[in-house]
Amino acid sequence: MNTFRTGFLMALLTAIFVTAGFLIGGPGGMTIAFLFAVGMNFFAYWNSDRVVLSIYHAQEVNEATAPRLYRIVRRLAENANLPMPKVCIVENPQPNAFATGRDPAHAAVCATTGILERLSDEELAGVLAHELGHVKNRDTLTMTITATIAGAVSMLANFAFFFGGNDRRNPLGMVGVILVAILAPVAAMLVQMSLSRAREYEADKAGAEISGHPLWLAAALDKISHAAGQIENRAADDHPATAHMFIINPLHGGFAGLFSTHPPTEERIARLKAMAGTPADRIKGPWG
């Protein structure tokens, strides 16, 4: 099912990209955009995780350099029957985390310095279990490809605004440029929203089962949500197409609230508390 959803997502974002190419440069622009999109999809499948890690200057760590973080991830990965992912730290004061990689064997889990400073071991375990939930559900490929292609759509929209209006091959003239500049990134964002919100609920559930303690994640979400609302994440603001990858929306201002890629934190916490009250949904986590 995830393979189908990933393919559908790539096809949909490719269609947006090709349509934008047509509006900018007519049939020739559409052909160039199509060829570029095919190459971009191929590149995104194999390298999108590296692109995202590079954007945030994520540094891979090990048990010697980050023993607390590494040991928690290892225990959770064992509990989830997953291969040990790469463990990375992002130098950023905003408490947040994300996972990336095309499959569980090539996954990376990233935590910001802000989250390491603010959360207890139990809360941190809840967050990391959520990220491993994305890995276990094989969401990371879809999420990372979405970030790469949606970012390219936004770049094309900027190109249209600055250069498309003077191209004689543009069938709609300045009207086409305006349509691309406004509607293309909005369309890409709506695609992200349609997939990301459901996936966050699923990853919350999977993470609670991996840790065995839904309330750990609930407490962490409450802390992260309040702190993230006060602390900027400049790298995320510069690359809004990657916002859906984080456990809590990292963006400030602009379309951050209007087109949020995350479900309401209060609803997520309520669902986790309901899980905690249902013994059948609890499993024995690595902390007992």
Q: What is the pLDDT of residues 210-269, one digit of tens each?
A: 999 999 999 999 999 999 989 999 999 888 878 888 999 998 755 544 446 688 999 999
* 288 within domain boundaries: no
Residue 275 has pLDDT above 60, yes or no: yes
How confident is the model at residue 258, as a pLDDT? 46
**Averaged pLDDT for residues 78-87:** 96
How far is C-alpha 29 from the chain's CA centre? Answer: 30
How confident is the model at residue 39, as a pLDDT? 76
**Averaged pLDDT for residues 7-25:** 71
Q: Which residue has the higher pLDDT, 51 or 3?
A: 51
- Please list, residue by residue across 187-204, b when 16 or more beta carbons sit within 10 angstroms of its beta carbon and e when fewer do: bbbebbbebbbebbeebb
* 62 within domain boundaries: yes
Give the CA dihedral 135, 195, 118, 236, nearest 10 degrees. Answer: 110
Mean pLDDT of the chain: 81
How confident is the model at residue 14, as a pLDDT? 75
Residue ranges making up the domain that contains 165: 2-281
Tally of structural domains, the chain: 1
* 286 within domain boundaries: no
Q: Which residue has the higher pLDDT, 39 or 7?
A: 39
How confident is the model at residue 124, as a pLDDT? 98
* 241 within domain boundaries: yes
* 139 within domain boundaries: yes
Which residues have a Cβ under 8 Å from the Cβ of 105 and sit 6 or more positions away? 83
pLDDT band at 131, cuts 50/70/90? very high
How confident is the model at residue 40, as a pLDDT? 72
How confident is the model at residue 2, as a pLDDT? 55
pLDDT band at 31, cuts 50/70/90? confident
Residue 33 has pLDDT above 60, yes or no: yes
Which residues have a Cβ under 8 Å from the Cβ of 237 and sit 6 or more positions away? 250, 251, 252, 253, 254
How confident is the model at residue 185, as a pLDDT? 60
* 287 within domain boundaries: no
Output the CA–CA distances (angstroms, integers) from residue 118 to 34, 104, 163, in the order listed. 45, 28, 45
* 21 within domain boundaries: yes
pLDDT band at 93, cuts 50/70/90? very high
How confident is the model at residue 288, as a pLDDT? 47
* 78 within domain boundaries: yes
Q: Which residue has the higher pLDDT, 8 or 161?
A: 8
Contact call for residues 80 and 108 (beta carbons, < 8 A): no
How confident is the model at residue 282, as a pLDDT? 45
Q: Which residue has the higher pLDDT, 43 or 86?
A: 86
How confident is the model at residue 45, as a pLDDT? 72
> Which residues belong to the active site?
131
Residue 150 has pLDDT above 90, yes or no: no
Which residues have a Cβ under 8 Å from the Cβ of 157 and sit 6 or more positions away? 20, 180, 181, 182, 184, 185
How confident is the model at residue 132, as a pLDDT? 97
